[in-house]
Amino acid sequence: MNTYETLSLEALEEHVLLVHLDRPEARNAMNTQMGFDLRDLWQEIYIEPGDLRAIVLTGAGDKAFCAGGDLKERNGMTDAAWQRQHAIFEQAVLALIECPVPVIAAVNGAAYGGGTELALCCDFIYAARRARFALTEITLGIIPGAMGTQNLPRALGERRAKEIILTGEPFSAEQAFEWGMVNRLCVDDRLIEETLATARRIAANAPLSTRRAKRVISLAREVDLHSGYALELEAYNRLVPTEDRLEGVRAFNERRRPVFKAR
């Protein structure tokens, strides 16, 4: 795995990766370099996931998950420079969406603008009770540009999404949980522990099955029921002849934990 200027990576055990957005002095705001780093990380995993089976994404420090785009860096940017930077962010979120390995967002503090969008691009979200969310772009004369207008209504419905985006008002982790955007609320100092426990549970399952299930579930919202079922059956039947399927059934009958090898 490469090293990155704005991200810190920690391999936990054999199959779990903990990724920190690592600009705590800037509340982990996304500057151009972080855009490059996130894009390159997700693309690297897409090309060669290796033994990775689950990833946790969080923010360095205890104040912010990600404050969104770095407005200090953006101050005075020309239109062309702004759009060039945003194109890098676009590539980063698209690469995250396409990451074959499940990614859990552990939102440890403020997630504003692109921070909320980044969390929404993950497969699901755990949040500390101190976390706050907002899509504030409309107060800056723009709109969400990292899939916020697409992922937010899918997460909590069109009417709630319109209220959040059109007002730019922050909302609490409790509200995000109540509305269905956050999967689990955690005591602040237990967030990473609980998120990693879920990541380890995922990593203990058959990785080929996990990756195919993630892909088919993601496609479910894009296609009609019968087309989605056809994709499910194709994925299912591709897994039947794998060594992991044989190992799973064998381990069940032998009353032991399976040892999956992604084959």
**pLDDT digit string, tens, across residues 142-160:** 999 999 999 999 999 999 9
- Give yes or no: residues 103 and 175 share one domain: yes
Predicted pLDDT at 80: 96
Q: At what angle do helices 114-121 and 79-97 cross, to 10 degrees?
A: 20
Provide the mean pLDDT of the chain: 96
pLDDT reported for residue 7? 98
Whether 177 maps to a domain, the answer reads yes
The parent domain of residue 195 ranges over 7-203
Confidence band for 83, pLDDT divided at 50, 70 and 90: very high
Q: For residue 175, tell me if it sits in a domain.
A: yes
Residues 106 and 215 both lie in one domain? no
Element (H, E) at 156: helix 148-156
Q: Which of 11, 200, 188 is nearest to 104 (CA)?
A: 200
Compute CA 65 distance to the chain's CA centroid, rounded to the nearest angstrom.
Answer: 12
pTM of full prediction above 0.85: yes
Please state the rounded mean pLDDT for residues 42-47. Answer: 97
Same domain? 212 vs 111 = no
Residue 120 lies in a domain: yes
β-pairing, 184-186 vs 124-128, is parallel
10-25 burial, b if ≥16 CB within 10 A, otherwise e? Answer: eeeeebbbbbbbbbee
User: Residue 207 has which token pair?
Assistant: 């990785």
**Angstrom distance (rounded) from CA 91 to CA 43:** 9
> Kindly report the CA angle at 66 between 48 and 165, in degrees rounded to 5?
110
Distance CA 181, CA 135 (A): 13
Q: 30 lies in a domain?
A: yes
- Active-site residues: which are they? 117, 137
Look up the CATH number of the domain holding residue 214. 1.10.12
Angle between helices 225-239 and 207-220 (to 10 degrees): 170
Q: What is the pLDDT of residues 228-253, one digit of tens each?
A: 999 999 999 999 999 999 989 999 99
Residue 161 counted as domain residue: yes
- 172 and 214: one domain? no
Same-domain check for residues 42 and 75: yes
At 2, the pLDDT band (50, 70, 90 cuts) reads confident
Query: What's the CA gap between 111 and 180, in Å, rounded?
Result: 16
Residues 75 and 187 in one domain: yes
pLDDT of residue 14: 84
> How many domains is the chain built from?
2
Q: Does some domain include residue 258?
A: no
Domain check: are 232 and 194 in the same one? no
